[in-house]
Structure formats: C-alpha cells, structure tokens
Amino acid sequence: MRGPYTATTAPQFTILGITIDATNATFGKGEESQSLTAAQFFAQAVGQIVDVRGTATGSMVMARTAMIETEEDR
C-alpha cells in the first residue's frame, strides 16, 4: 500500500483511511533503504508518501516494512 501518511497513535497510522499497524515493522527511508528507528520514522513521515508492505486483516494492514519515499523515489 502506498499513499500519504496520516498520524494517529504510534505504532499505528493511516494511509488513505486504512489503518496501518506498524508494531512489528522495520522502517526505512528512500530507495536505498536508509534504516530508521520507529521514533525516527514517525517523526519524519508527517506530510510524506509512505510505502507499506504487509498483510491485510479486515480493515487493517499489519506492516512488515514501512518506507518513507524521498523526492528522488517519485
């Protein structure tokens, strides 16, 4: 799933109204996968496009990875 990040209560956030649970996710930024901590991800993701990979369960996605896209990625 890919779209604009909307903050809720960490470790959850939404993309296009879909709740993402990032409790067990690994976080990164950019095409070269700069590794981020959860705190860094949640601080830097505001206003950004995020790409999430994981498993959909009902109306929630359990994230395996969450990546912040950079301008160069688009």
pLDDT tens digits, residue range 23-73?
999 999 997 779 999 999 999 999 999 999 999 998 899 999 999 998 766
Which pLDDT does position 31 carry in this prediction? 78
pLDDT digits (tens, 9 = 90+) for 2-30: 999 999 999 999 999 999 999 999 999 99
- How many Cβ atoms are within 10 Å of 8's Cβ, its own excluded? 10
Which pLDDT does position 49 carry in this prediction? 96
Pairing of strands 60-68, 12-15: unpaired
User: What tokens were used for 13?
Assistant: 């956030």
